[in-house]
Chain A
Amino acid sequence: MSPEYIKEIVSNHKGELGALISILEDIQDRYHYLPEEALRIVAGETGRSLVDIYGVATFYKAFSLKPRGKHHISVCMGTACHVRSAPGIVDEFTLQLGLRPGETTQDGEFTLETVNCLGTCALGPIVLADGHYFSNVKRQDVKKILPKIKSGFVEEPGDREDRLFPVEVYCPHCNHSLMDEQNPIEDYPAISLGYSFNEMRGWVRMSSLYGSHCLESEHPIAADTTVKLFCPQCHAELVGKTACFDCGSPMVKLGFLGGGSLLMCTLWGCNNSEISLNGHHRRDEHTGESREHILG
C-alpha cells in the first residue's frame, strides 16, 4: 500500500461535499479492501476523525476491512433466488473453489459472498461477479462461469454494438460477389477489392460491418490519397456518379445485396459511406444525421 496513492485519491476529491464514500470506493477499487493504514491516512488528510471514517466503512456492506480476492463473487440468497435453489449454487461454488461464503481463496483470486437481494428477482437465481450479472444460473453453470470470471470477461466475438451490421456487396459490372469468406475481418466475410494509386496496385480487404472502418491492405496507404478501386473478379474499375458529402472526392458504387447500392468514398481515411435503398440515402452514422435525397 502506498501512502502517496491514498493521498492522491483524497486530493482528487478535494472540495467535494460528502466525498468520503467516493474516496473509500476508490481505495477499495485499488486494493479490493480498505487497509487500516489507508483509513488512518484518509482521516489525516481529510481532517475528519478516524471514528467517523471507520463508522462509514463498517456501515456499508460494499466496503470490506478484511483483504478480499481479486475477483468478487456474490450469490444472491434473497427469497426469490433462494426458492429457485440458490443454496445449491453456493454449494457448487464452495465445492469448486474450496471456500465458504465470506472467505477468500489462498491465492487471493476469489472471494465468495452471499447477498440478500440484488434487486432483479425475476431473473433469479443471480450471481454477481466483478460487476457482471449472470441470470437464471443453474448449478451446472458454475463451472462455465468461473473461467469467465478468471479471464476478466474478455469481450466475446459477436458482442458488438447494435448499429454495426454486416452488409453483402457485389460488383455492379460482373455481378460477382465481392465477399471474401476465406479471410474474415471481425468474424464476418471481408469485402475484397483491388486498388491502384501512384502506379501501385494491390488488394484491400475491408470489414463488411457497416460503420466499422477496419481494413487490411497490401501496401500501407497514406491518408488523403485518392485511390481507384477495382473488382477482383472482372478487374473493371468501380466508378460512381456522386461526390462525397464530406470531402468532394468521387464515390464508387457497389451493388448491395437485397437491392440498392453501397457508395464508398475513394479518399483514403475519409471513411464516408452511404447505403442507398430505392434511391434514398442512408448516411454512415458516424459522419452525421441521416439525410434523404434522390440519387441523380
Chain B
Amino acid sequence: MVTLTINGLKVRVEEGMTILEAARFVGFPIPTLCHNDGLSPYGACRLCVVEIGQEPKSKLVSSCTYPVEEGLTVRTASQRVLKARGMIIELLLASCPQSKTIQDLASAHGVHQQRFKQEYEDCILCGLCVRTCSEQMMAHAIGFRGRGENRSIGTPFDISSDVCRLCGGCMYICPACQLRCTYNQPQHAICNACANLRPPCIEKEGYNNLMCYMEPCVACEIK
C-alpha cells in the first residue's frame, strides 16, 4: 500500500496504480480522452494533467501514465491545472472541431473561446483505435505511420490489411470521427449552443425541424 495526498486528502491505495486510478478510486474526477479502462495507458491527449509536488517545484504530469508514489502530493484541479487543461481542450478543438466528444469536453470545462485556426483534421492521434485493434481485437491491423506533421494512423502501405476483420472497433472508439451537434451553424468553431450560449439549441427556434438524432449533450442533460 502507498500513502499519498490527493487534493489535501490522505489516501492509501495499492502500489502500481496510476494517479488517475487512485483519484477516481477516492472520487476526484479527472477528465480523460485517450484513456480507456480496457486499454493500456498511452498519455497522448494530456487532458488528465495533474500537478504533483510542492509549490515552487511542482510540475504537471499526465495522471494516466504516472504511477503512485509514497508521499506524493497531487492536486487535480489547481489553477495551473485548470489553465493547462483549458488550453489543451482549445487546441483539441482547433484540430478537430467537428468532434462531439471534444465539443462536450469544451462545454463541460467552460471553454468559451477558440483562438486558433480550425483545421478540421479527422484524427487527433489519441491512439485509441490502434490500442483497441491490438489489445482488444488482437488484430494489429492499424498503427502509427510517419512522424511529426506526417504522422497518421492506418494500415501498412495504405492497402486493405489481411489481418483486419472489419470489426469496426476502431470506429466505435474514435472520439474524432463523429458528428457533433451544430444546430444550424455548421462552421461555428464551438458548438456552444449547449452550456455556454443562451439559449441552448434545444430551446432555439426551429429545433424540432432539425430532427436531431444525437445523444444528449451536456446542455440536454442539464435541462
Contacts and interface: CB of A to CB of B under 8 A. Distances in A.
Indicate whether A and B interact: yes
B141 interface: yes
A58 B145 CA distance: 6
A54 B141 contact: no
B163 interface: yes
B140 A52 contact: yes
B145 A55 contact: yes
Contacts of B147: 58-59
B143 A51 contact: yes
A54 B157 contact: yes
B16 interface: no
A12 interface: no
A41 interface: no
Interface string A38-52: 010000000001111
B168 interface: no
B146 A50 contact: no
B143 A55 contact: yes
A58 B140 CA distance: 17
Interface in A41-82: 49-55, 58-59
A36 interface: yes
A53 B156 CA distance: 9
B144 interface: yes
A36 B146 contact: no
A54 B147 CA distance: 12
Contacts of B161: 50-51
A217 B155 CA distance: 67
A36 B140 CA distance: 18
Given A51-B140, A51-B141, A52-B140, A39 B146 contact: no
B191 interface: no
Given A49-B163, A51-B140, A52-B140, A36 B145 contact: no
A115 to B, nearest CB: 14
Contacts of A59: 144, 146-147
Question: By CB atoms of chain B within 10 A, which of A50, A51, A52 has the most?
Answer: A51
A53 B157 CA distance: 11
A182 B117 CA distance: 77
Contacts of B157: 36, 54
B40 to A, nearest CB: 15
B192 to A, nearest CB: 38
Contacts of A36: 157
B142 interface: yes
B146 A58 contact: yes
Interface string B136-161: 00001111111100000001110001
Nearest to A59: B147
Nearest to A51: B143
B133 to A, nearest CB: 8
B145 A49 contact: no
B143 to A, nearest CB: 3
A236 B152 CA distance: 83
A54 B140 contact: no
Contacts of B142: 51
Contact of A55 (B141, B144, B163): B144
Contacts of A39: 156
A55 B130 CA distance: 12
Contacts of A49: 134, 140, 143, 163
Contacts of B134: 49, 51
A59 B147 CA distance: 5
Contacts of A51: 134, 140-143, 155-156, 161
Nearest to A60: B147
Interface string B182-215: 0000000000000000000000000000000000
A140 B118 CA distance: 46
Nearest to A52: B143
A257 to B, nearest CB: 62
Contacts of B145: 54-55, 58
A55 B143 CA distance: 7
Interface in A21-39: 36, 39
A44 to B, nearest CB: 12
B150 to A, nearest CB: 8
13 contacts: A50-B156, A50-B161, A50-B163, A51-B141, A51-B143, A51-B155, A51-B156, A52-B140, A54-B143, A55-B144, A55-B145, A58-B145, A59-B144
Interface of B: 134, 140-147, 155-157, 161, 163
Given A51-B155, A53-B156, A59-B144, 11 more contacts: A36-B157, A50-B140, A50-B161, A50-B163, A51-B134, A54-B145, A54-B156, A54-B157, A55-B145, A58-B145, A58-B147
9 closest A-B pairs by beta carbon, nearest first, are A51-B143, A49-B140, A54-B156, A58-B145, A58-B146, A50-B156, A59-B147, A55-B143, A55-B144
